[in-house]
Amino acid sequence: MRLVSLRFTLYLLSALFGCFLYFWLTPYIWPAVEIPKHISALEAERIARASLQRAGITIPGKYRNAVAFKVNDYEKEYLEQRLGVRQALCIMQTTSPVYTWHVRWFKPQCKEDFSVDISLDGQFINYEHHLPDEAVQQTCDSLRLVKQFIAQVGGVNLTNYVAEIVATLPGNGHPELWFEWRRKNRLLGNALQSVQVVVVGNQVTRFSRYLYMQSPYFEQHILRVVRNERLYKYGLILEGILLLVGVITVIIGIVTRTCHWRCGVAPTIMIVLFSLLTALNSLPKAYANFDTGYSWSGFWWHHAGMVALDLLLLALKIYLLVLAAEWIYRRAFPQHRPLAYWFTSSGLASQAGRNRLLLGYWLIPVQMACVTLIYLLANQFLHGWVSSSLGYSGLITSWLPWSPALNSGLFAAIFEEFLFRVLTISWLKRLVKYDWLAVLIPAIMWGLVHINHSNQPFLVRNFEVTLWGIIFGYIFLRYGPLPALVAHAGYDVIIDGMGFLTANSWLLRLNFVVMLLIILLPLGLSLWWGRRTGLAPESTLPPDNQSLSDLLKQHKAERRPPALPPETEQTDPTLPLTS
């Protein structure tokens, strides 16, 4: 008993130390963007409309309006890499805003629409007017029109700018006059603040404030993107091969009539429900990207059809993957408990199930601290760079901000753990002689799938994921998939939702609490079921070779209340017996 208490204390202290290390070192590596006090979506729409009215542009009365949060990832990555994350954060919120409200006015089945980007502090950043050919009028004094628009709407003083480009380009039926100014002696990294205006006929159709980046960076960026995309495609090819192996595995199970069809139902339903919730949560973004080629009803029918098709394909992929993984797992690890057992109330309420849950939760802060140390060393000795995190880009406008982060973490955990651990390691366990090789190969594949990230050097991300693929693999060999599933889902959800903690809103911070409660739900169910039925010791666990159907029958029998004894006729001994 004393040894158990000491072990629990060591686990608890190491988990607390991992959390402390993560929160202490994170601001020096990838500080989360703390969105400053900002205008609301309604205020952004009002500012955009008033700015256009100053230029004599009136939005037609029957046009619909949509507002969404927008991030310029290209400029954000450039500033963070060139100036450092901390300095870039200040510039991105003032001098060169990359976080904006995207305000759009449109009408279904109408070619003409208007869109304006307003920064979080109310600056006019971008404007675009899609003008139909029949609305183009005679050309006027374009330069005077452009300067008047910049002064009245753009709010840019051209005194410190130099005209660089005045060109005429062929447009869709009408020539486009392009004007561009770049600021003198004001470099942000190696980029110049620029203003670009496009005129068609007698109307300004485009206004943009952006960073003009020198060619060396642009070329390096393109090469880096191409290299990462190539390696990422190799990882996707390997992932596709593994999925094909899963399909073949299911076919073998069907032919031999050894597939347990019910084992994939629960994870499939869970993933589909969370994905549906995320799709509903993204309706404001879909509305802001309304395709005016559709009618109002046609657009929503098309959107609903695409969502339904995505959910159907997602359900099929998850269901077949779990079926295949369960089939080969039973044959590769006959000494282990049935896979489905750990996802029943009896399994979670057992002592072994609770120990596996606690191991998974303990791995979360350990992984957070380990990954933080890896990137800290890469930044110090390899001149590494990691982009800051905003969390979910629809953080401000979404109805349920916690939904995308939670869905992403749960899907990644279930899909990747069943694919790279349960399915692949189980097959390799039967095909190769050494366990370390069966663990290493899937870990390398998992690292390649995660290589398409903007951090530099790009191999740091590959090394980090491969390392934890090896750790999860060895844990899977000994304890099954439950600890790695809990650790993977918990880590992804916490990292994706960390931006909620730095938000200047108690409602957004409450979203982080909601995600934590959902991640801790399996442990809560284990404690509740264990309190009702008592912890099942190892000796009462089901036999290793028990089939899924027998396991489910036993599980139902355990939950069924005991039958009452048959009623017997009560006789009074004082009364005489009659024949």
pLDDT at 573 over 70: no
Look at residues 515, 365, 363 and name the one whose alpha carbon lies nearest to residue 22: 365
What is the model's pLDDT at position 412?
93
110-114 average pLDDT score: 88
SS3 57: coil
Quote the pLDDT of residue 534.
61
Question: Residue 276 is inside which H or E element, if any?
Answer: helix 265-281
Residue 109 backbone zone (phi > 0: left; psi -120 to 50: alpha; other: beta): left
Residue 447: CB atoms within 10 Å = 23
Q: Average of pLDDT values for 435-456?
A: 86
Query: DSSP secondary-structure letter at 151?
Result: I
Residue 114 identity? F
At residue 575 the predicted structure's pLDDT band, cuts being 50, 70 and 90, is very low
User: Pairing between strand 161-170 and 124-130?
Assistant: unpaired
Q: Is the peptide bond before 365 cis (omega within 30 degrees of 0)?
A: no
> What backbone phi and psi angles, to 5 degrees, belong to 218?
-60, -40
442 in Cβ contact with 424 (< 8 Å): yes
Greater confidence, 213 or 518?
Answer: 518
Model pLDDT, residue 289: 85
Query: Model confidence at 562, in pLDDT bands (50, 70, 90)?
Result: very low
Residue 62's CB is within 10 A of a number of other CB atoms, namely 7
Per-residue pLDDT band for 139 (boundaries 50, 70, 90) equals: low
Other C-beta atoms closer than 10 Å to the C-beta of 247 total 14
Q: How confident is the model at residue 506 (pLDDT cuts 50, 70, 90)?
A: confident
Please write the tens of the pLDDT for every residue from 309-343.
999 999 999 999 999 999 999 999 988 888 888 88
CA atoms within 13 A on the CB side of 568: 4
DSSP state of 421: I
pLDDT in tens, 212-255: 876 666 666 667 777 777 777 888 888 899 999 999 999 999 99
| β-sheet bridge partners, residue 130 | 113
Of 234-238, 389-393, 543-547, give the lowest mean pLDDT range: 543-547
Where do we find the tokens 């994939």? 264
- Report the percentage of the chain scoring pLDDT > 70: 82
- For 390, half-sphere exposure in the C-beta direction (CA atoms, 13 angstrom radius) is 19
With 80 as the cut, is the pLDDT of residue 194 above it? yes
CA 107 to chain centre: 32
- Which of the given ranges, 14-23, 134-143, 431-440, has the highest pLDDT on average? 431-440
Q: What is the pTM of this model?
A: 0.84
Residue 547's pLDDT is 47
Average pLDDT of every residue of the chain: 81
Provide the pLDDT for residue 427. 95
Q: Are 343 and 467 in contact (CB under 8 A)?
A: no
Length of the chain in terms of residues written: 579
User: For 161-172, what is the mean pLDDT?
Assistant: 73
User: Which tokens is 259 given?
Assistant: 């597939």
Average pLDDT over residues 206-210: 90
Residue with the bigger pLDDT between 533 and 113: it is 113
